[in-house]
Chains A and B, each alone.
Chain A
Amino acid sequence: MHPDPALWTTLWPKLHGASAHFPIALALVAAVCEAAAFLLGEGSRRDGLRAAGFYAIAFAALGTVPAVASGLVMTKGETLGHDLLFWHHVFVWPSFAAIVGLAVWRVLTGEKMSRRAQARYLLALLVTAGLISAAGYWGGEMIVNG
């Protein structure tokens, strides 16, 4: 049995578009919440922001699964490609790995992170937020100029 070509040209791009925005938005929310929490002193507001950052990165990691899967099926397993797709992938793969890694790090440590570990985590999260934003930018370029 061979895949229906119409499925690839209609369904998967729609699924990719529908799923790809969640990890982008949630990674950015996680970065903002963790940065704000890092700058604030001890208190319930800081704890609330840390909790929001925790759930945001956890759900961002879960959201990367359908986004990556639908993207791979849509492009018939293309992991790099050329032109705009190439640039999309240059940013997608490191950010995908980083989001999953950061979520695991955060889930394992919970609230037990030292101040230095928090700073490292925040730095990695900010870089990841930049990478996933760039991936989203090149994804948008494919729709507008592709």
Chain B
Amino acid sequence: MKRPPSSALAPALALAAALTALGGAWVLACGVKALAGGAAQAVPSSAVSEADRVARGQRFYTQSCAHCHGETGDGQGEDGGADLRGLAASNARIANAITRGIKGEMPTFRKRYDPQEVSALVAYVRTFTAAAAP
């Protein structure tokens, strides 16, 4: 039985549609990145290096975080906090926790640190390596 043309071409058209969908997503991602990048460029372009960012983050960490999370991020601070070593959470998630706090567990630092300072804190928290297995 002869198949209708649409049936014969369907797998090829399906592949084309799939690739088009991925391409569309990629274009959207680029657009969103450009928009978000514009916001980032509005910040003074002092070309802060990663090492500077980490050093800044360490200063903020010592001021606001170490008394709960411990100097080394092991959660052994005076007031008891979470172990921050080897966090699996994304940078955005960590920044969100710092900015908005965690209900009943951690205060919000929205008023204390601006987004660049939070980013520096995240960079420093990322330097805590995972605890060795016992």
- The residues of A with any CB-CB pair to B shorter than 8 Å are 2-3, 5, 9, 64, 68-69, 72-73, 75-79, 81-85, 93, 96-98, 100-105, 108-109, 112-114, 117, 142, 145-146
Identity of the chain B residue whose Cβ is nearest the Cβ of A86 in the assembled complex: B90
Q: Is the CB of B92 within 8 A of A108?
A: no
> Complex Cα distance A46/B21, Å?
31
28 contacts between A and B (CB under 8 A): A3-B36, A64-B21, A68-B28, A72-B25, A72-B28, A73-B32, A77-B31, A77-B33, A77-B35, A79-B25, A83-B89, A83-B90, A84-B89, A93-B22, A93-B25, A96-B22, A102-B14, A104-B18, A105-B11, A105-B14, A108-B7, A108-B13, A108-B14, A112-B7, A117-B7, A142-B93, A145-B88, A146-B93
Q: A83-B88, A142-B90, A142-B93 are in contact. Are A98 and B30 (CB under 8 A)?
A: no
Asked if B59 CB lies within 8 Å of chain A CBs, one says no
Q: A77-B36, A83-B89 provided; 4 other pairs, C-beta below 8 A?
A: A72-B25, A72-B28, A77-B35, A101-B21
User: Inside 8 A of B92's CB, which chain A residues have their CB?
Assistant: 75
Asked if B111 CB lies within 8 Å of chain A CBs, one says no
Interface size class of B (residues with CB under 8 A): 35 or more
Q: Is the CB of A114 within 8 A of B13?
A: no
Asked if B104 CB lies within 8 Å of chain A CBs, one says no
Total of A-B residue pairs, C-beta within 8 Å: 102
Q: Is the CB of A97 within 8 A of B7?
A: no
User: Inside 8 A of B18's CB, which chain A residues have their CB?
Assistant: 97-98, 100-101, 104
Asked if B3 CB lies within 8 Å of chain A CBs, one says yes
Tell me which of B6, B38, B100 contacts A109 (CB under 8 A): B6
Per DSSP, chain A at the interface is helix
User: Inside 8 A of B25's CB, which chain A residues have their CB?
Assistant: 68, 72, 79, 93, 96
Q: A2-B42, A5-B115 are in contact. Are A76 and B36 (CB under 8 A)?
A: yes
User: Inside 8 A of A79's CB, which chain B residues have their CB?
Assistant: 25-26, 29
Tell me which of A3, A78, A96 contacts B21 (CB under 8 A): A96
User: Inside 8 A of A83's CB, which chain B residues have their CB?
Assistant: 88-90
Identity of the chain A residue whose Cβ is nearest the Cβ of B33 in the assembled complex: A77
Q: Is the CB of B32 within 8 A of A76?
A: yes
Asked if B51 CB lies within 8 Å of chain A CBs, one says no
> Complex Cα distance A69/B31, Å?
11
Asked if B102 CB lies within 8 Å of chain A CBs, one says no
